[in-house]
Amino acid sequence: MSVEVKNGLDIKKTIRELIKQHGTERAELIPIMQKINADFGYISSEAIEELALLMNLPTNQIFSVATFYRMLSTEPRGKHVIQFCESAPCHVAGSRQVWLALQEALGLENGQTSKDNKWTLLTTSCLGACGIGPVLVIDQNIYGNVQPQQVKNILSRYE
Amino acid sequence: MKAVRSMVLISNDTESIALGANEVFSAFQQKIQDYGLSDEISISFISDIGHNSAAPLVIIYPEAVIYGPVKPDDVLDIVEEHLDKGHIVERKLVPAHELSEHLTWLSSRKGTLPAENRIVLKNVGLIDPENIEDYIALDGYQALGTVLGKTPAETISIIEDSGLRGRGGAGFPTGLKWSFVAKTHIDKKYVVCNADESEPGTFKDRLVLEGDPHAIIEAMAIAAYAVGADEGYVYIRGEYRLAIERMKVAIKQAREYGLLGKNIFSSKFSFDLHVHAGAGAYICGEETALIESIEGKRGEPRSRPPYPTTFGLWGKPTLVNNVETLANIPAIIRNGADWYRSIGTPSSPGTKVYTILGNVNVTGLIEVPMGITLREVITIYAKGMKGGTFKMAQTGGSSGSIIPANLQDTPMDFDSFKTASVSLGSGALLICNEEICVVDLAKVLLNFFRFESCGKCNPCRIGCQKSFEILSNIAEGIGTLQDLEDLQMMANQLYELSNCGLGQTAGSPLKDILTYFHAEVESHIRLKVCPADTCPMSGKTIYHVGQEVKITREHGA
Amino acid sequence: MVKLNIDGKTVKVLEGTTVLKAAEQAGIYIPTLCAHPQLTPYGGCRLCMVEVEGAGTLQPSCTLPVTEGMQIKTNTKKILDARKFVLTLIFSERNHFCMYCQVTDGDCELQNAAYDESMTHWPLQPNWQPYEVDASHKFFVLDHNRCILCRRCVRACNELVGNFTLGFKERGANSFLVADYGVPLGESTCISCGTCVQICPTGALIDRQSAYQGKEIEVDHHLSVCVDCSIGCQRDVLTRDNRLIRIEGDWDTSLNHGLLCEKGRFEPLAKECNRILTPLVRKDGSLKAATWDEAISAIIEKIKPLTGKKEKGLAVLASSRLSTESLALIDEVFNQGFEAAIVTSIEEDQTSSVAAEIAKELGKPFESKLDVLKDTDVALVLGADLATDHQVAGFFLKRQQASGTKLIVAGTKENRFIDKANLKLQQTKGTSLDLIESLTAALVELRKAKVEDLKAADALYSSSEKTGLAIDSLLKTAEYLSSAKKPVIVYGKGFVSNNNKVALKALLEFAALIGKNGAPLVGVKGQANSMAAAQLMLVKPFKADSVQAVYLALGDEIPTKKLTKDLENVPFVAVHAAYSSQLTANADVVLPAAIWAEEEGHYLNSDGRLQKNVKALEAPENVLDTVTTLQKIAELLNVKTKGDWKSQLLARVSSVEITQG
């Protein structure tokens, strides 16, 4: 997912529309947050406050749920989010070398965003694509059978 | 894969090689070629079959006979008499007492090659998953129609009789679970499909969801009818974007065709289905954590009892079944319980989808009857090790057991695995050669558990973190013998005290590496050597959670 | 009943009881950390594990329901090893350095648990990473190093108080206690009730004002009653060496079962007032220190001539924070004996006086006990800001919202409790009577049989206009109340302002229409002893320009600006007060008074409970309590007193049945 930072007004409007679509039942909290995360790259404190108001939930509960799930972030992320599988099957397929190549190419530690805000580097647990490990996901794109020497080329495809 | 009519497996452990296994292998290659049977017969090595006094052994399928000791001179007879004409060469059969205990079972295994038998994956790859007509054309929704002409109790009987057991990892008898929910007298019940599939090495459910979503819809409708539910949820992990889309399309089409909604097939039975996406948490594969997640809360498992069958989604009786389990239902209804029983083993009927991963030549998915052995999987389906020899395999995903070479012949069904204290789990098979260090692998596994732990109970939250730190220390060459004791204690207590399956099985890798690979782990500690030459051994220390601080001489450490 | 066997002992308990509670009943001790009798079981710490015959692994006794014939063992070697393991893990997770923590030595449940298991050291190396200390809150400190992630504070904030400020972020080893969406406690939605501090088993949450002031176990406990509002929560006053250390709730009490609000728990110790330590008499224009005899003589001199004078006579004013003994004595001495021009309390909240008048008219009590608030499915709150005053009553209601209870709050825009409501009735104009009329009209409209009955619709329309309340809100309120199984109605000073007897009578009629037997009515009434003041009829309106002298028994109340201004032009003012203020600075004679902790006395709370405020401290040397002072004055006035305050209190019918608390 590529991220467009939208201004404060749009967040409220987006959330109101989402509430219209989904309703205010507690069960809709996570699906709504998924959409907010997809559109804005993360769930800001403004978003949490608006959700709290419209869904009649304490901000603490929303924040607590949002930070529990890996796919949701309460911190801003870079324009392109890299997710690298660090689970056992990809490990056995040689993922460590790919990880080192990624770190070298980006100069980032796990969880960090680059200074120019272009990249956020994250490790992730198994994505269910083990047959083509090592696996790398950038935004919505999955790269399989990744070799260390391919890393630079893959990264170069993103603006 | 190419279809062969016979397999020849030759042992190549050290002893066998010393006694001429390589020459026997060459002899077979030559003779089979001479007889023009190269296309029909495959020859492979099998590594480390355990100590026995009849090496080198030659095992031939499908008859599952064991010859030994075999000399290059014996090969002609075996090829001519057995492989070409089909007569067993009695004089070369190994007496049972000379076989290692791991191989005595072979004499009772007669019959066909454990060939693929696609029940769960029947339609996957054959139909357009976004076209309900395709599904219907291949007997789709027929089972649902049949069931609506029976009573719910009769339906449950069929499933109970079939002996189907849960395929998510626990192996709980499915019919029994259905009966628990059916027994409750509450006005509202739910059926939930557990499609959270986050066990590393597992992607079987994804294939069913992406390739044959209607099978799940039909199965859930049957289950709902049987237990008395009128509403269902398919909980699909958030990362499976395509599966979520396809399931939504399938549900929409099913509704259009009147196969979901009110009065299905003009009966009194009404049932509707929703798709609910996860958001990235392995723990939500646990039944009660999944239910909490649907309710919009943190995925923290509940205390049990009460179980979901009596107190589940929003406090109502809820049936939770895995995708693979459900995918068997329509076939069982169509073909009958006896048909299902005829496949697999008595304690574990039916087929299982295994994922083959790791240092083997062919990786992927297979669906075979329960009871296949790991050796058969490696040699027949994975076409042998890709470089190196078999060292260990992790069965059942990251929460499964690490088994050494000498347990390769355990039939993989729920009960055999239990008696050998090995877990079948989700059916993921991660096969490793000697280049994989056990400490490194255990580190990767514990890293997974500490990241995915929900944090509710102390043993798992702190135990996984501590075990990871201890393993990291061992990998850095600063481990102590006390660490081995601590890891053993962690493994035992994680199993004894954790609130849910994640914590309980997080200790399995620890227990197994200490049982089967003690020497290798000790080598890191006593000799500061990583036999697989993988661990950094750089003397660093983990100070902060996730951060590393270098200790050098100057810092006076 | 279910019969089971624990450690060889047969135990019989109700179905649904947990094994932990069953063991407790049988007198068998099982250690716990995350369990608490007031909270729902959590099952997180895994310290309470027991062996259950037939189960493959140990089971947590705090969540496990009993079954018939269960065989339980609570102290096998396996269990003892497991306990040591759990404690070992907890100690290794964060920085639990007992030697630097002042909660140790008997007050830390973690340390106690470790000692109970004979642990002497940390078997696993602790985590050297330093965690945050959040010291932003005015009254307490959150030290994450000592947190054992038991979630008691979270559960207390949610289940006992209904405030939902505290929760956990992230998961696994990164789990961390947060307020709201990760803000410092001092900037959060925390209402400083302090329940989390009280329930925290370790030194993670500690009271700021009593920190580093000596060993926790070396304090004197005084089980007493709060005198900061009319709810009259039971509380434990901790002192040492005649100093106030801390105020806590007591989990075993019946009314508030351990809950307190910031007014009753923290503010008494945060008072920054100057204590009056000597009698003062105005000489040559300024107040000078004097002896008690001098001061009292000065008072008697001025007021004795006013005996019996109704015009330009003596006004005796009393704080409704004073004990019933004091108030009754004031009534006896000055009303009956002295026959002063007016004897009244300075209470501004008229709820208790209006309620008392209605009771007199009806001839019987008409209100219910506060306990009805603890179990309700629809609560209608009229003119009571339970977020600011009488907060504990608000906790009872807020905490049930999560399980579906509907809170309907009617009030003006200053009412902060409206924010918590499921249905907000913000009245922009009109009176309380208009409000009741609109609700009644809605109820009638909802229930009427014929669609063509336009009269009811008209009434609804016009009363909606009068109050500024939307018709669908009114109808929704009526709907909730009609379908409620356990409705309650709460009213407060906003509803009866301007002495609104008519509105209260109308409310009574409205309440009778709800449900089968009418909805119970609860009034929250002003200060700690407003009820007693009303019972003693000390609630007459006071005009400063009609009196010659004022004797004000202020106690430890802080006088309002209005009262101070009112008394400015009274020729002679004598005050018996604990703290100096502009009012005492203006007075002619000032007598030093005891504070709440220094004077024992009885208090009558909102729902008729007669409770005792226990003496916890000795007053400073030259300070006298209200009763003693009044007795001195009575003697010099030649007024004989019986001091039978109980008879005086029970002489009239009360709005709610008076019971011994």
Write the pLDDT tens digit of every residue in A23-58: 999 999 999 999 999 999 999 999 999 999 999 999
Neighbours of C78 (CB within 10 A): 14
- Residue B429's nearest CA partner among B224, B203, B101 is B203
**CA gap A58, C154 in Å, rounded:** 13
CB contact under 8 Å between B466 and C124, yes or no, is yes
- The CATH architecture annotation of domain C2-75 reads Roll (3.10)
The predicted pLDDT at position B42 comes to 83
Q: Which residues pair with B355 in a beta bridge?
A: B365, B428
Q: pLDDT by residue (tens digit) across B440-461?
A: 999 999 999 999 999 999 999 9
Hey, what amino acid is at C287? L
What domains appear along chain A, each with residue ranges and CATH number?
A: 5-68 (1.10.10), 80-155 (3.40.30.10)
Q: Which residue in B has a C-alpha nearest to residue C56's C-alpha?
A: B496
Among candidates C168, C170, C180 on the partner chain, residue whose Cβ is nearest the Cβ of A59: C180
Strands B318-322 and B190-195: parallel
Residue A145 touches partner C, C-beta closer than 8 Å:
no
The predicted pLDDT at position C95 comes to 86
Among candidates A33, A92, A127 on the partner chain, residue whose Cβ is nearest the Cβ of B432: A92
- Residue B451's nearest CA partner among B277, B198, B195 is B198
Q: What share of chain A is helix, strand, coil (3-state, %, to 5)?
A: 50, 10, 40
The predicted pLDDT at position C329 comes to 95
Strands B548-549 and B390-395: unpaired
DSSP code, position C243: E
Is the CATH code 3.40.50.740 the one for domain C280-348+530-660? yes
Residue B43's SS3 state is strand
The predicted pLDDT at position B411 comes to 82
Among candidates B206, B276, B298 on the partner chain, residue whose Cβ is nearest the Cβ of A128: B206
Residue B449's SS3 state is helix
The pTM of the full predicted model, rounded to 2 decimals, is 0.91
Determine the distance in angstroms separating the CA of A43 from the nearest CA of chain C, rounded to an integer: 11
Among candidates A31, A70, A88 on the partner chain, residue whose Cβ is nearest the Cβ of B441: A88
In percent, the amount of chain C with pLDDT more than 90 equals 80
Which chain B residues touch A72 with a CB distance below 8 Å? 279-280
Q: Which residue in A has a C-alpha nearest to residue B354's C-alpha?
A: A131
Q: Are B233 and B190 in contact (CB under 8 A)?
A: yes
pLDDT tops 60 at residue B101: no
The predicted pLDDT at position B19 comes to 85
Hey, what amino acid is at A152? K
CB contact under 8 Å between C173 and B453, yes or no, is yes
Higher pLDDT, C126 or B498: B498
CB contact under 8 Å between A61 and C167, yes or no, is yes
Which chain A residues touch C167 with a CB distance below 8 Å? 60-61, 63-64
Q: Which run of H or of E encompasses B469?
A: helix B458-475
**CA gap C260, C194 in Å, rounded:** 7
Q: Which residue in A has a C-alpha nearest to residue C176's C-alpha?
A: A64
Q: What is the mean pLDDT of chain C?
A: 93
C-alpha dihedral sign at C470, C471, C472, C478: positive
Mean pLDDT of C478-492: 94
Q: Is B228 left (phi over 0), alpha (psi -120 to 50) or beta?
A: left
Is the CATH code 1.10.1760.20 the one for domain B6-106? no
DSSP code, position B378: I
**Which CATH fold topology does C352-523 show?**
Dimethylsulfoxide Reductase; domain 2 (3.40.228)
Residue B426 makes CB contacts below 8 A (sequence gap 6+) with B167, B168, B169, B197, B199, B201, B202, B204, B396, B397, B400
Burial of B2 (0-12, 13-18, 19+ CB in 10 A): exposed
Tally: H helices and E strands in chain B: 21, 15
The predicted pLDDT at position B555 comes to 29
Q: Are B353 and B120 in contact (CB under 8 A)?
A: yes
Residue B451 makes CB contacts below 8 A (sequence gap 6+) with A125, C172
Mean pLDDT of B403-414: 84
Which chain C residues touch B484 with a CB distance below 8 Å? none
CB contact under 8 Å between B355 and A65, yes or no, is no
CB contact under 8 Å between A126 and B202, yes or no, is yes
Q: Which residue has the tokens 């001091």?
A: C643
Testing the interface with C: which of B449, B454, B458 to mutate, by most C Cβ within 10 A? Answer: B458
Q: Are C573 and C187 in contact (CB under 8 A)?
A: no
Burial of B17 (0-12, 13-18, 19+ CB in 10 A): middle
Which chain A residues touch C422 with a CB distance below 8 Å? 56
Residue C655 makes CB contacts below 8 A (sequence gap 6+) with C352, C355, C356, C358, C359, C365, C366, C367, C523
For chain C, which residues make up each domain, given as ranges? 2-75, 124-270, 280-348+530-660, 352-523
Q: List chains adjacent to chain B, taking adjacency as at least 3 C-beta pairs closer than 8 Å.
A: A, C
For chain B, which residues make up each domain, given as ranges? 6-106, 132-341, 351-433, 438-556
pLDDT band at B387 (very low <50, low <70, confident <90, very high): confident
Please give the CATH number for the structural domain made up of C124-270: 3.30.70.20
Q: What is the mean pLDDT of chain B?
A: 88
Burial of B145 (0-12, 13-18, 19+ CB in 10 A): middle
Which chain B residues touch A65 with a CB distance below 8 Å? 296-298
Mean pLDDT of C505-513: 93
The predicted pLDDT at position B439 comes to 95
CB contact under 8 Å between A69 and B299, yes or no, is yes
Is the CATH code 3.40.50.11540 the one for domain B132-341? yes
What is the distance in angstroms between the CA of the first residue and the CA of the last residue of chain C?
32
Which chain A residues touch B440 with a CB distance below 8 Å? 91
The predicted pLDDT at position C23 comes to 97
The predicted pLDDT at position B51 comes to 55
CB contact under 8 Å between C166 and A45, yes or no, is no
Reported ipTM: the value is 0.94
The predicted pLDDT at position A8 comes to 56
Q: pLDDT by residue (tens digit) across C570-622?
A: 999 999 999 999 999 999 999 999 999 999 999 999 989 999 999 999 999 99
C-alpha dihedral sign at C202, C207, C208, C209: negative
- The CATH architecture annotation of domain B351-433 reads Roll (3.10)
The predicted pLDDT at position B425 comes to 83
Please give the CATH number for the structural domain made up of B438-556: 1.20.1440.230
Q: pLDDT by residue (tens digit) across C374-432?
A: 999 999 999 999 999 999 999 999 999 999 999 999 999 899 999 999 999 998 888 99
Q: Which residues pair with A72 in a beta bridge?
A: none
Which chain A residues touch B239 with a CB distance below 8 Å? 71, 127-128
Among candidates B298, B303, B466 on the partner chain, residue whose Cβ is nearest the Cβ of C60: B303
Vertex A127, ends A123 and A128: CA angle to 5°?
150
CB contact under 8 Å between A128 and B203, yes or no, is yes
Q: pLDDT by residue (tens digit) across C3-42?
A: 999 999 999 999 999 999 999 999 999 999 999 999 999 9
